[in-house]
A and B are shown apart, each in its own frame.
Chain A
Amino acid sequence: MTLDPIRPGRQVVQAPSVGAAGARPLPDVSDLSTDNPYGVVLITGLIRAQLGLTIGFAALTIAVIGSLPIIAALFPSVVHATVHGLPVPLLVLGGGIYPVLVVLGWGYVHLAERLERRFAELLSRPT
């Protein structure tokens, strides 16, 4: 925090500026090493974030696809419903499920890449 005498009698309070003198320098790529405690924290954070994203998508997959057999067992009326004469289970398992899979896959790729970009930005911010 710096106190800046702009006008006499009045003081302006500023947020600490990036890489302010005296503070620890912000992390950069050279910190990413396991013999550096700071690097260990960074790497652990990255792995946790990636694992969180992965588990989130896995849970979503289980909820959307893994639940189908239970739904079919609990609600036999769904199993024998038809659309234009075609049984609903045939439509779901034979086609409807695939767009869901593809959306889940591309959604994950998008978010995983964003996560890695942010991590890289964190490291390459000008000091």
Chain B
Amino acid sequence: MNGSGIAAVVAITLITVALGARGMRVARTPADFLVAARAVPSLVNASAISGEYLSAASFLGVAGLVYVNGVGALWYPVGYATGYLVLLLFVAAPLRRFGAYTIPDFAEGRLESPLLRKVGTVFVLVIGWFYLLPQLKGAGITLQVVVGSPYWVGVVALGAIVTANIAAGGMKGITVVQAFQFWLKIVAIAVPAIVLLSLTHARADALDRPVGATFPVATTVSVTEPIDFTVRKPVVVTASGTLDGRTVDGAVRLTSGRHSAGRGAKLRFPAGAAAPSAVGLDELTGRQWSMPFARAGSGEQHPLAATYGLILATFLGTVGLPHILVRFYTNRDGRSARRTTAIVLLLVSCFYLFPVVFGVLGRLEAPGLYLTANTDSVVLVLPKLAVAGPGGVTLAALVAAGAFAAFLSTSSGLLISVAGALSHDLLDGSVRTFRWCSVVAGALAIGAGLRVGGFSLNLLVGWAFAIAASTFCPLLLLGIWWRRLSRTGCLAGLVVGGLTSATAIAITMLGGGQTGWPAVLLGLPAIWTVPTSFLVMIVVSLLTPGSLPEDVAGKMLVLHLPEGLRGPMPRTWPTAPPTAVARETGWA
């Protein structure tokens, strides 16, 4: 693209590494590495949580999915935000009061079962790792657009930077970095969105028409990867490069039906021409595009079931995201954990007002991406298409910087969670082990990230949410509010919820269930796996009262009693939080 885009990406990376290095000098103990120093002001902490949360799926993916699937895709950001309301209502204050660092900590402390800690750790690894892949994909496509490098360069570069930074500094520096990156991200998406809105000549009434997207002005579409596409109405284009297997240069008539374009081909469409779509991409009329229902697979079968599947996954999945919950420990007490969550809700709500602008304006002004299928890059491409001259270049550099900030922050948090879970819950928990675990986890993620280029960002993230909603959500909600949760019941629910959701997703990833009910139930599995997991946990708990942990009342007291009222803790309750980390560092 241009020098300024490269400069922006490099600058963001350098700032991140520099801030991380500041923390490196003071990070000493494993507890430092995991949860910084437990006394971060609410606004800083809320910015850091939001910075960590707003990932590639939010920064690039939401706009891309709105562009392709229409208004129904907005359930993703709505769900990502509402997840914090659920977290606030059910989890924030009690979890902080309980004093657990991570979900496996909570599982072990609440139910006194080392086995549950191990099972919980496995799901932390699965969810965290699933969530890492779309971040790496985002970096791959961003560098593709900014530098013109192949997909793998971005994946490897981001993976290596994040891994090195985490292995060197841990999270102490990252809290500052995450807070900074939230503000960077919101500026990087809000300023271009507002500029684009003020400059647009697009007519909004074109959105709800019974026809597909059309080119508003004569537009040249450059093909970067070989692509097959479908033309609905015959059109005469000015083409160069390889088209339908022949080398062309000049006016070509594209008949209705399927065509193919080679790498480097350029097609110039006249104003008003209907935009062709890549094969495999649903071509929606304006009418279909403005329907507020989620879509599963291809086609629009069972829109209500698909929408509620998505709602369940995103509303309840946030609660179970391992890299988010660990941040709540940096709140002073339960009350400030609640306030922090409410601020997060406000911050992410403000952020999500902007990606939709790119999705909508993209459909009206840049329908060429339907042909090349690079729909996840609409945020990156639109500023230069819509604003001529240096202004467009500057805006493009700004969104590129914001996008890179999104991958850096989310993948850092995820890698800490994954490496922390590996080193503390499965290995010896030393700083040295933590460092090696982050290197290994980072390398594995890079390897897998190279293979997920074909999946939509939100699809990948949505799957991580579905698994979290089917495993950790029932564990936390029932563990915090229900006295009769038994060890056996909890284990059964975790295993059933985890296996069903992961199997459904694996089948979808391997290409099964493209249409009809299978597409809905396997592609958006939360609609049945979440209720199943809750039901199994409750029924098995009621059937196995023998495996209730000791002193449930004492644990309920610790979970729910405001800190100021705490007298001496009940005798049966351990004086320190039940975690290997705390024992090691003497925290009490």
Taking the nearest CB of chain A, how far is it from the CB of B450, in angstroms?
34
Main secondary structure on A side of the interface with B: helix
User: With A and B bound together, what is the CA distance between A88 and B287 in angstroms?
Assistant: 13
A43 and B562 contacting across the interface, CB-CB below 8 Å: no
CB within 8 Å for A73 and B81 given contacts A47-B560, A101-B345, A120-B564: no
A113 and B335 contacting across the interface, CB-CB below 8 Å: yes
Contacts of A32 in B (CB 8 A): 557, 561, 565-567
Contacts of B565 in A (CB 8 A): 29, 32, 119-120, 123
A101 and B349 contacting across the interface, CB-CB below 8 Å: yes
B290 and A87 contacting across the interface, CB-CB below 8 Å: yes
CB within 8 Å for A94 and B74 given contacts A79-B290, A89-B292: yes
Residue with the highest number of chain B CB atoms closer than 10 Å, among A90, A92, A119:
A90
Contacts of B554 in A (CB 8 A): 34
B560 and A46 contacting across the interface, CB-CB below 8 Å: yes
B205 and A85 contacting across the interface, CB-CB below 8 Å: yes
Considering only CB atoms, which chain B residue lies closest to A53 in the complex? B89
Contacts of A89 in B (CB 8 A): 71, 74, 290-292
Q: Quick check: is B587 within 8 A (CB to CB) of the other chain?
A: no
User: With A and B bound together, what is the CA distance between A43 and B341 in angstroms?
Assistant: 24
User: With A and B bound together, what is the CA distance between A93 and B307 in angstroms?
Assistant: 13
A54 and B89 contacting across the interface, CB-CB below 8 Å: yes
A35 and B88 contacting across the interface, CB-CB below 8 Å: no
User: With A and B bound together, what is the CA distance between A105 and B85 in angstroms?
Assistant: 6
Contacts of A40 in B (CB 8 A): 553
Residues 272 to 298 of chain B near chain A (Cβ within 8 Å):
287, 290-293
Interface window among B157-165, B352-360, B513-521: B352-360
Taking the nearest CB of chain B, how far is it from the CB of A16, in angstroms?
26
User: With A and B bound together, what is the CA distance between A35 and B207 in angstroms?
Assistant: 66
A87 and B208 contacting across the interface, CB-CB below 8 Å: yes
Q: Quick check: is A109 within 8 A (CB to CB) of the other chain?
A: yes
Q: Quick check: is A68 within 8 A (CB to CB) of the other chain?
A: yes
A58 and B89 contacting across the interface, CB-CB below 8 Å: yes
Considering only CB atoms, which chain A residue lies closest to B568 in the complex? A33
User: With A and B bound together, what is the CA distance between A109 and B572 in angstroms?
Assistant: 31
Q: Quick check: is B204 within 8 A (CB to CB) of the other chain?
A: yes
Considering only CB atoms, which chain A residue lies closest to B73 in the complex? A93
Instruction: Mark contacts of A95-113 with chain B using CB atoms, 8 A cut-off: 1 yes-contact digit, 0 otherwise.
Output: 1011101101110110011
A82 and B205 contacting across the interface, CB-CB below 8 Å: yes
A69 and B308 contacting across the interface, CB-CB below 8 Å: yes
A43 and B93 contacting across the interface, CB-CB below 8 Å: no
Q: Quick check: is A65 within 8 A (CB to CB) of the other chain?
A: yes
Q: Quick check: is A23 within 8 A (CB to CB) of the other chain?
A: no
Taking the nearest CB of chain B, how far is it from the CB of A123, in angstroms?
6
User: With A and B bound together, what is the CA distance between A35 and B205 in angstroms?
Assistant: 68
Cβ 8 A contact of B341, one of A58, A93, A105, A123 = A105
Considering only CB atoms, which chain A residue lies closest to B552 in the complex? A34
Q: Quick check: is B82 within 8 A (CB to CB) of the other chain?
A: yes
Contacts of A97 in B (CB 8 A): 78
Contacts of A68 in B (CB 8 A): 292
Cβ 8 A contact of A87, one of B71, B311, B353 = B71
Q: Quick check: is B455 within 8 A (CB to CB) of the other chain?
A: no
User: With A and B bound together, what is the CA distance between A100 and B572 in angstroms?
Assistant: 43
Residue with the highest number of chain B CB atoms closer than 10 Å, among A33, A40, A93, A108:
A93
B88 and A108 contacting across the interface, CB-CB below 8 Å: yes
User: With A and B bound together, what is the CA distance between A92 and B291 in angstroms?
Assistant: 12
CB within 8 Å for A43 and B88 given contacts A73-B303, A90-B360, A98-B353: no
User: With A and B bound together, what is the CA distance between A113 and B561 in angstroms?
Assistant: 12
A51 and B481 contacting across the interface, CB-CB below 8 Å: yes
Cβ 8 A contact of A93, one of B292, B303, B557, B560 = B292
Q: Quick check: is A11 within 8 A (CB to CB) of the other chain?
A: no
Counting contact residues on chain B (CB < 8 A from A), the size range is 35 or more
Instruction: Mark contacts of B309-352 with chain A using CB atoms, 8 A cut-off: 1 yes-contact digit, 0 otherwise.
Output: 00100000000000000000000000100110110011001101
User: With A and B bound together, what is the CA distance between A65 and B75 in angstroms?
Assistant: 10
B207 and A61 contacting across the interface, CB-CB below 8 Å: no
Contacts of B562 in A (CB 8 A): 116, 119-120
CB within 8 Å for A34 and B89 given contacts A82-B205, A90-B360, A93-B74: no
Q: Quick check: is B304 within 8 A (CB to CB) of the other chain?
A: yes
A69 and B85 contacting across the interface, CB-CB below 8 Å: no
CB within 8 Å for A105 and B556 given contacts A61-B85, A80-B290, A116-B562: no
User: With A and B bound together, what is the CA distance between A76 and B435 in angstroms?
Assistant: 55
Q: Quick check: is A84 within 8 A (CB to CB) of the other chain?
A: yes
Instruction: Mark contacts of B382-415 with chain A using CB atoms, 8 A cut-off: 1 yes-contact digit, 0 otherwise.
Output: 0000000000000000000000000000000000
Considering only CB atoms, which chain A residue lies closest to B93 in the complex? A112
Taking the nearest CB of chain B, how far is it from the CB of A35, in angstroms?
7
Contacts of B86 in A (CB 8 A): 58, 61
Q: Quick check: is B463 within 8 A (CB to CB) of the other chain?
A: no
A54 and B556 contacting across the interface, CB-CB below 8 Å: no
Cβ 8 A contact of B560, one of A33, A35, A43 = A43
A69 and B81 contacting across the interface, CB-CB below 8 Å: no
User: With A and B bound together, what is the CA distance between A89 and B566 in angstroms?
Assistant: 48
Considering only CB atoms, which chain B residue lies closest to A51 in the complex? B481
Contacts of A29 in B (CB 8 A): 565-567
Q: Can you name 19 A-B pairs with beta carbons within 8 Å?
A: A32-B557, A43-B556, A43-B560, A47-B560, A57-B89, A70-B304, A72-B291, A73-B293, A85-B203, A90-B74, A93-B74, A98-B81, A98-B350, A101-B345, A105-B88, A106-B342, A108-B88, A109-B342, A112-B338
Q: 19 new A-B pairs (CB below 8 Å) besides A32-B565, A86-B204?
A: A30-B567, A34-B551, A47-B481, A54-B90, A61-B82, A69-B304, A69-B311, A82-B208, A87-B71, A87-B290, A89-B74, A94-B356, A98-B349, A98-B353, A101-B85, A101-B345, A105-B84, A106-B342, A108-B85
List the 9 closest A-B pairs by CB distance, nearest first: A85-B204, A89-B292, A93-B74, A98-B349, A85-B205, A87-B290, A94-B356, A34-B553, A105-B345
Please list the residues of chain A having a beta carbon within 8 angstroms of any beta carbon in chain B: 29-30, 32-35, 40, 43, 46-47, 50-51, 54, 57-58, 61, 65-66, 68-70, 72-73, 79-80, 82, 84-87, 89-90, 92-95, 97-99, 101-102, 104-106, 108-109, 112-113, 116, 119-120, 123
